[in-house]
Amino acid sequence: MFNKLCIIGVGLIGGSIARACKENKLAKQVIGTGRRQENLQKAVDLGVIDGYENSVTAAVKDADLVVICSPVGSFEKVFTELKATWSETCVYTDVGSTKESVINALAAVFVDIPGNFVAAHPIAGSEQNGVEASMADLFVDKRVIITPTVATEAAAIKTCQMWWQAMGAIVSEMTVQHHDEVFAATSHLPHVLAYSLVELLKNKQDEREIFEYAAGGFKDFTRIASSDPDMWSDICLANGPQLIKVIKELEQVNRKISSLIENNDKQGLLAIFQSAQGARDYFLSLQKSK
């Protein structure tokens, strides 16, 4: 499908893209680049990529697909490095968990957004980090959201769709704004909650006993607090306005629950819990129907 694929940031997602492209014969050559040479060498040693370059400029030379997999806070710097060698015959895309920040970074560097850049977000991942956690089947039956702008070329969108589908993904389209609203609530907020709960309990004096006697529910709920803190701090800042909005909405719900408990109002609590249970059952039915 491609002669040369360049991956900027060879971690869990970038490494999984490389593995999937190799397994499905989607690229003749896979080259990586990133911040740390030891990580790139590890990717070569594991057979994830064919080689690497220490600079973005060298890595993207003659590439016909470039995928930006670095933290979203780095995108403006990456776009600045790409600008000097930007090719009209290449498709550029990303895997960032926020989309408005990506488009804003692109506009800050290029002013006019290039038509051959396709903003995308694979809804796949793990609390495990690094290229050693990468998997060739990470995207199989997982949803990928493409968020084109008015400038995005139809041919670039189609190429990106076919590429993700060839890795087993289910591709959907969304506007940039809608994407960030949805994922502030369904992804970014849950990570904030997991981190904040663990931090709260860590700071209690009886820390050892709390963690020693914590049940399976605590383990399940806080699993995502093992995710990469650097990546998630970038995501929270990149989608700040939407995330703050949903945090404030959650605070209102928690204040209501607190008031019901103070007033010994079982019926009020029951109504909220039953409503939430029904909503989650509906969510699970949607997952089964995919």
- Structural domain spans, the chain: 2-174, 179-288
Q: Can you tell me the mean pLDDT for 42-47? A: 96
Of the listed ranges 17-31, 33-47, 78-92, 123-137, the one predicted with least confidence: 123-137
For 66-77, what is the mean pLDDT?
A: 95
Q: What local confidence, expressed as pLDDT, does residue 205 receive?
A: 63
Average pLDDT, the chain: 94
Using alpha carbons, select from 131, 128, 126, 127 the residue that is nearest to residue 46: 131
Q: What is the CATH number of domain 179-288?
A: 1.10.3660.10
pLDDT above 90 as % of the chain: 85
Percent of the chain with pLDDT over 70: 98
User: Among the listed ranges 2-11, 70-79, 223-232, which one has the minimum average pLDDT value?
Assistant: 223-232
CA dist., res. 117 & res. 101, Å (int): 14
pLDDT tens-digit readout, 148-168: 999 999 999 999 999 999 999
pLDDT of residue 290: 63
In what order do the strands lie in the sheet containing 143-146? 120-122, 143-146, 170-173
Rounded Cα distance between 30 and 19, Å, is 9
CB count, 10 Å around CB of 176? Answer: 18
Q: What is the 3-state secondary structure (H, E, C) of the chain?
A: CEEEEEEECCCHHHHHHHHHHHHCCCEEEEEEECCCHHHHHHHHHCCCCCEECCCHHHHCCCCCEEEECCCHHHHHHHHHHHHCCCCCCCEEEECCCCCHHHHHHHHHHHCCCCCCEECEEECCCCCCCCHHHCCCCCCCCCEEEECCCCCCCHHHHHHHHHHHHHCCCEEEECCHHHHHHHHHHHHHHHHHHHHHHHHHHHCCCCHHHHHHHCCHHHHHHCHHHHCCHHHHHHHHHHCHHHHHHHHHHHHHHHHHHHHHHHCCCHHHHHHHHHHHHHHHHHHHHHHHCC
| Cβ atoms within 10 Å, residue 206 | 10
Tell me, rounded to whole angstroms, the distance of Cα 49 from its chain centroid.
21
Residue indicated by tokens 């209690």: 204
Q: Above 70 in pLDDT, residue 80?
A: yes
What CATH number should be reported for the domain whose range is 2-174? 3.40.50.720
What CA–CA distance (Å, rounded) separates 185 from 172? 18
User: What is the average per-residue pLDDT within 273-281?
Assistant: 95
C-alpha span between 71 and 104 (Å, rounded):
15
Count CA atoms closer than 13 A to 5's CA, side-chain side: 29
Q: Please, is 75 exposed, middle or buried when counting C-beta atoms within 10 Å of its C-beta (0-12, 13-18, 19+)?
A: buried
- Higher-pLDDT residue of 1 and 95 is 95
pLDDT band at 125 (very low <50, low <70, confident <90, very high): confident
User: pTM (2 decimals)?
Assistant: 0.88
Over residues 129-140, the mean pLDDT reads 93
What confidence score (pLDDT) does residue 216 get?
Answer: 85
Tens digit of each residue's pLDDT (9 = 90 or more) over 200-255 = 988 876 666 788 878 888 889 999 999 889 889 999 999 999 999 999 999 999 99
